[in-house]
Amino acid sequence: MVCPRCIESVSGILNDLNIPDAHIELGRAELERTLGEEELNKLDSRLRDKGFELIFDRETELVNVVKSSLIQYIEHLETESNPQKLSVFVSENTNYNYSYLSKNFSDHTGDTIETYLIRLKIERVKELLSFRKWTLSEIAWKLKYSSVQYLSNQFKKVTGDTVTEYLKKNSYSRKTFDQY
């Protein structure tokens, strides 16, 4: 689960299946009781219909927790004048050593945490551009890029288009966070 609508969707599924007392947050749902095999199969089926999956192994769960933390980190960048370093933020949100998280993340996704974050930030840039409310300089400042040029170079590297080319298309191609 990577957004509030995901939490709402999972909550609705659990309620429909009469599975109460779940604690649901980004990337995680903890149930108060153990489900029987039939309940678990129904839950798994309903979750898959909505694009979710059940995760039982700790390493995969940890990757999803890191992904959720990275989404929260983008918000942190936008709202804090002096944001924490990525490694500190992720470690504090997960209660794990960043080196361990980084190795586990790379082993399971084939990407580094930093590369994943860059792609998420570029998706956020695309979203902000689509509003046509902010200049590229304002977006760079908002997401704590060191310069507009640095943002532009990252944008081109990730999307294959310059910002100008992207804006001229008028059909903004975006990916949801769960597609990464």
Strands 28-30 and 23-25: antiparallel
pLDDT digits (tens, 9 = 90+) for 49-86: 998 888 777 898 899 899 999 999 999 999 999 999 99
Lowest mean pLDDT among 15-29, 55-69, 91-105: 15-29
Domain ranges of the chain: 4-49, 57-180
The model's confidence at residue 124, banded by pLDDT at 50, 70 and 90, is very high
Q: What is the dihedral of CA 89, 8, 129, 168, to 10 degrees?
A: 130
Evaluate whether the domain defined by 57-180 bears CATH number 3.30.565.10.
no
The model's confidence at residue 113, banded by pLDDT at 50, 70 and 90, is very high
- pLDDT, residue 151, reads 98
Distance of CA 11 to the CA centre of its chain: 19
Contact 65, 94 (CB under 8 A): yes
Using the predicted structure, report yes or no on whether residue 176 has a pLDDT greater than 70.
no
Contact 136, 152 (CB under 8 A): yes
Spatial distance between the Cα atoms of 88 and 106, rounded to a whole number of angstroms: 18
Contact 133, 171 (CB under 8 A): no
Using the predicted structure, report yes or no on whether residue 1 has a pLDDT greater than 50.
no
Contact 2, 177 (CB under 8 A): yes
pLDDT digits (tens, 9 = 90+) for 126-170: 999 999 999 999 999 999 999 999 999 999 999 999 999 999 987
- pLDDT, residue 179, reads 56
- pLDDT, residue 136, reads 97
Q: Between 113 and 21, name the one with better pLDDT.
A: 113
Q: What is the pTM of this model?
A: 0.74
* Mean pLDDT score across all residues of the chain: 90
